[in-house]
Amino acid sequence: MLNIYRNTNEWPSFVPFALFDLPTPGRSFSNLRQDLDRVFGTYEQSLNGPYAQTGENAQLRDSGSDLVVTIDLPGVSKKDVELTISGDNIFIRATRTLSPPEGYTAHRRERSSFKFEQAFQLPVAVESKTAVANLQDGVLTVTLPKSPNAQPKQIAVKAG
């Protein structure tokens, strides 16, 4: 499991921007996903050059009680991933440094080193204490339990 930094005093000096507009009725998660894709688009270009297509590098999923963020980070080891969560803000930094294996000559180099840094605002507040991050099969998965106020609930309708 990855280390998750929760100390907001060490918030990096960047201006977190609102990835998501203010909630508007009817705004669905497919919109959110498009937003997320747009944000990660530049990263994908630097990562994959002309090869991979957009769309599947980063995903935000709402499982009801949790928000789940997944990001493709092939070849990144967990010591090179840093995650900071504060309220409804999340900051992710990951680096991949590639060098040719020793004694080999390169014939083709499409894979590239990258430094991925992104801050974004989640649509609801999350419980950072119980957040879990896992790096497996080249994918970072961050599971963020929604704060109690943001949990889905059913309202009983009383007959008049």
Partner 1 sequence: MTQNIVETPKTSGPELAQRAQEIMPPVDIYENDHELLVLADLPRVTTENLTVEVNHPELKIQGRVPSANHQSDIVYTRIFRLDSSMDVAKIEAKITEGVLEVHLPKSEPYRVRKIEVTGA
> Nearer to partner 1 by C-beta: 54 or 130?
54
Query: How far is it, in rounded angstroms, from Cα 123 to Cα 20?
Result: 7
10 touching partner 1, by CB under 8 A: no
**Residue 95, Cα to own-chain centre: how many angstroms?**
14
- Is residue 107 involved in binding partner 1 (CB under 8 A)? yes
Q: Is 59 helix (H, G, I), strand (E, B) or coil?
A: strand
Does 64 sit near partner 1 (CB under 8 A)? Answer: no
Strands 81-86 and 66-72: unpaired
Distance CA 26, CA 15 (A): 28
Question: Under the criterion CB under 8 A, does residue 135 sit at the interface with partner 1?
Answer: yes
CA-wise closest residue to 6 among 115, 124, 141, 131 = 131
Closest C-alpha to 122, from 78, 80, 86: 86
Q: Does 1 bind partner 1 (CB under 8 A)?
A: no
CB of 50 to partner 1, least distance (A): 8
Number of chain residues interacting with partner 1 (CB under 8 A): 33
In terms of CB distance, is 59 or 84 closer to partner 1? 59
Query: Measured from the CB atom, is 12 or 74 closer to partner 1?
Result: 74
Task: List interacting residues with partner 1 (CB under 8 A).
Answer: 47-49, 51-53, 55-56, 59, 61, 72-77, 98, 100-101, 103-112, 135, 137-139
